[in-house]
Chains A and B, each alone.
Chain A
Amino acid sequence: MSSKKLLMTFPVTATSHQLADYRARGGYATLEKVLRTMQPADVTKEVAASGVQGRGGAAFPAGRKWGVINLADGQPHYLCANADEGEPGTFKDRWILENAPHLLVESMLIAAYALEVRHAFVYIRGEFDLPYRRLAGAIEEARAAGYLGAPLFGGAFSCELVAHRGAGSYVCGEASGLLTSLEGKRGYPRNRPPRLTVKGLYRRPTVVNNVETLANLVNILRDGAAAFKSHGTPKNPGTRLISISGHIAKPGVYEIEIGYPWRTFLEEDCGGMMNDANLKCVIPGGISTKVLTASEIASLTLDSESVESAGSSMGSGGMIAIAEGTCMVRLLQVMLRFYHHESCGQCTPCREGMGWLHRIIDRIVDGQGRKEDLDQMLRISRMNDGTTICGMGDAAGYATVGILAKYRDEFDYWIEHKRSRYDGNLECRPST
């Protein structure tokens, strides 16, 4: 059992998301301490010292991102929490929005203070209705309590917070697509340069951080960077929220100390496989990360170094456990259908490549596959590797390359025999 908790530190009850409960847990005391005793630049220093990395998927150190903001440039800065959570397999930011919305509000106020932001946003995917209502409720409570829209703790700093809803687009989870959507347009990601921290929302310096990344700020500023670094590993300090789903017995959101052994997590914390099935493979952090087999993960720990040494990534923390007897061809088909559906269509390789990949795998599943199809899929993946405006092209490539690397034999089988080795099954069969 991973004992270290920084976020899931309280029992979820009918009222634990509300202001009174949050204050009883020490809520908003850290904000007060920061505003009364620290300068904005000191806050950024502390965040940088903590080494906290982005928990949206890209793992970029938050302090380094913040450091680009020029506090003295005299122009508006914006802060945006990325609550789009669209990476399939991921549902951990939802936990924070529903159960600890004030933690996000307080964290964002701390970040806004550090970044000279006076107007902050939470971009929340349109489908998240309950999370939105919880967050909107928290914002209203915070406003009524004087935390939002009014000068705080006797100083000049005040900040507004807006919960802004999306309307159904995976690519709006990409930071620049998110901001373009927040500007009221099609969620088209943008080329860099310029970086968003130079020209972001309405061409102003903007920091976009994942909800979970931000939610760690209260801890970091309350207990200090050193305390934060005492959890996790030297390169990945802190804890992570893992959303686990698929054929696991106890799917849900778990908080683990980074570096926790993978097998222990699956077998003890998550109750092992459902139906007593055997584990076939695991998708570590959202479908855009490369799949790892059961034997590969046996020796790995849940931190970037370990997972990357096996050629994959912790990504968004959206873990999917897959039982033996699952057809990986059909699994990839579901993924490629998703990427095809979600491509924004701006850039040539993704727009054409996603459709091409999807059509090839549909044809294989239809029994019309050809031997050259698999190399063609790898080739298309390579054409999307580093050539696209945003990471979506690469993501589909990782999914494809990852599954083909480990389970090419299933594809060969389908092409040769015009059917699945596993009856096209995606559900969990008991072990035989």
Chain B
Amino acid sequence: MPTIYVDGREIQADKGDTVLQAALAAGCDLPYFCYHPALSIAGSCRVCVVQVEGRSWVEIACNMPVTEGLRVLTDSDLVREHRAAMLELTLLNHPVDCGICDKAGECTLQDYHYEYHGKASVSLEPKVRATKQFPLSSRIVLDNERCILCSRCVRFTREISKSNGLGIQERGDQSLVRASEDGAFEHDPYSDNVVDLCPVGALLPRAFVHRSRVWYLKATPSVCPGCARGCTVQIWHRKPEWAFKALDPAKNTRIERVTPLANPGVNGPWICNKGRDLANIFERARALQPMLRGQPATLDGAVFAAHVLIASAKRPLALVSSWGSNEELAAFAATLGTGMPSFVKADWLPMPGEVVEDEILIRADKNPNTAGALARFPAWDGQFGDADVVVVWGEGVAASRIPDSAAVVRFGSYADADAASAHVFIPISVQTERAGHYTNFEGTVSAFERCFDTRANVADAEALFPLLAESTKATA
């Protein structure tokens, strides 16, 4: 455990650390672009320069091994001079696009310029021009003028996703990040992580370009339901205090983007592209209307009808959602689940073209809480037996699979033909409208928080299940 001194302050480092790692771990404020804890050392941005006490030159801290008694300065005149020079040179050919660049507000280059008192450029030369809005893939657009060639994106595709999808063409100040010509980056299921890695607005997701200023958005911690890995994510949506008044109110309940929530125990700093596209899951056409055999009903009416059906069933069967939260599953187990055989189904199966499983994050089980559900109920064998009432909670069981002899009570979130054909259909809220927990395939429990309010006429399953089990009086 070497001891080093940063600006005179004693810091315990770990053997094998670099000065940058030790300093950051101790809370020191050192700027850097190309360094990333999960990637190899590039040592190319030259912004993390420090001065070893007694030496008259600066050195980069990201490649300086800690040694016992090492003393470095991060704020000497020499360091300030060279750090300012490195930032100035980084900005030399960087287009001042801030006014139209999506990265504004979360741009490391902007932040450092202000934090380290950057000055206006003194260069009289026109800036180097390069391709802007270059299609790196169908998902990612690249602005080569903004790119500061930190190489994080390239190293990511070599070392983490292993797609080898990105490289640098040409050389010098004509260097350009480019995708390999065989389209490997297009097929990289982790491609969008380069957007988080990019310290500037060079790499941007097409889906988010010019969609919103980031300071109007809040990031709500959540869990991706795309597979049993249960990566923790941040779902970004309009801050309530910045709610749109004049425009379509649906804009206030939109998922603007999804980014990883770093989680050393589960997904590290990454998520796969499916997690970026959660809007594709949660913003499908919603079921907002309780129905009795396709006819609109009140929520109370539907609850009563369902209760009657269930109470009178001789051979009921419940198919439990593997997308249910631990809280919802507990409620089910304590109420409806005590009265009928209940089995866990796989709401989602891998879809054609989707990566089934890999060695990085993606799991073949495309459901977020199979483990939480199986902790309470056995797995379903796909058979209905001679059930007379089938309670279907969640997706994955088409009406056409259910024997005609069974009455169907269905709880679901999405508008489809199955909802219309059920004897009783009760719309339930989706993950973004609730708080709860999922258990991933390794038994790790992660929390998701509420982003939006539940809609009118839509029930929260956790409250619904006890209602259905009660022997309440009917209020028709």
Contact = CB atoms under 8 A, between A and B. Distances in A.
Contacts of A383: 82, 85-86, 88-89
A399 B380 CA distance: 77
B49 interface: yes
B172 A355 contact: yes
Nearest to A393: B46
Contacts of A359: 125
Interface stretch (B58-66, B352-360, B391-399): B58-66
Contacts of B92: 352, 356
Nearest to B64: A193
Contacts of B85: 349, 382-383, 387
Given A343-B171, A356-B92, A387-B49, A349 B44 contact: no
Contact of A352 (B41, B65, B90, B151): B90
B65 A387 contact: no
Interface in B51-99: 57-58, 60, 63, 65, 82, 85-86, 88-90, 92-93
Contacts of A355: 93, 128, 172-173
Contacts of A345: 149, 168, 170-175
A349 B148 CA distance: 12
Interface string A181-199: 0000010000101000000
B173 A186 contact: no
B351 interface: no
Contacts of B292: none
Interface string A349-378: 101111110011001000000100100100
Contacts of A341: 172
Contacts of A186: 168, 171
B269 interface: no
B86 A389 contact: no
A346 B58 contact: no
B47 interface: yes
A177 B248 CA distance: 57
A102 interface: no
A287 B168 CA distance: 29
B333 interface: no
Contacts of A342: 172
Interface in A317-357: 340-349, 351-356
Contacts of B171: 169, 186, 343-345
A293 interface: no
B294 interface: no
Contacts of B123: 356
A381 to B, nearest CB: 11
Nearest to B42: A346
B172 A191 contact: no
A348 B86 contact: yes
A370 B124 contact: yes
B45 interface: yes
B44 A346 contact: yes
A343 B128 CA distance: 15
A255 B442 CA distance: 72
Contacts of A343: 171-173
B301 interface: no
A76 interface: no
B82 A348 contact: no
B49 A348 contact: no
Most chain B Cβ neighbours within 10 Å, of A169, A186, A354, A387: A387
A355 B168 CA distance: 18
A386 interface: yes
B122 interface: yes
A206 B54 CA distance: 31
A25 to B, nearest CB: 43
B43 A386 contact: no
Given A345-B168, A370-B124, A351 B46 contact: no
8 contacts: A193-B65, A345-B174, A355-B128, A356-B89, A359-B125, A363-B125, A383-B86, A389-B43
Nearest 10 CB-CB pairs, A to B?
A: A343-B172, A345-B175, A191-B43, A359-B125, A352-B89, A383-B85, A355-B173, A345-B172, A352-B92, A346-B44
